[in-house]
Amino acid sequence: MHRILFVCLGNICRSTMAQFVMQDLVNRAGRADEFVIDSAGTSDEEHGNPPHHGTVNKLRSVGVPVLKHRARRVRASEYGGWDLIVYMDEDNEWSLSRIFSGDPAHKCVKLLSCIPEDSDFRPRAHLHDGSVRDVADPWWTGNFDDTYRDVRAGCEALLAHLS
């Protein structure tokens, strides 16, 4: 069983999109019984809110089912319950390190780091300095197409890695 938690700041845009995309990918692959997938945020700013309408609209436009979800904050006590905690950007990494008091079991990974460096994915996930870029944040850009592109590529690479 693979237990995966996707994390962003508020849990209404990127992490929920990743949760729904990953669930759709494993369902289509006939592997739903092998996975537990959820999402959370590193803050309480959006606690209880549904997924952002931009996320909902984008997913519906590409045929990805939108699941029932309310934003929540990840808790320190959850660390042991997940195999992977997949975050969207460097700020999330810093926040998770504070919430979990580090990452002793090395469970926390940046979503776009799942894409191999030699991938044809454009724009590249790995930058020229070797770092991994963040998943595009539609909260600031309003561009849910770029976010979906990043999330889809990251989730496909993650699923391939777990196969």
Catalytic residues: 8, 14, 137
What span, in angstroms and rounded, lies between the C-alpha atoms of 38 and 4?
7
Q: In the chain, which residue ranges form alpha helices assigned H by DSSP?
A: 14-28, 53-61, 90-100, 138-141, 144-161
What are 162's two structure tokens?
Answer: 């777990």
**70 half-sphere exposure, CB direction, 13 A CA radius:** 3
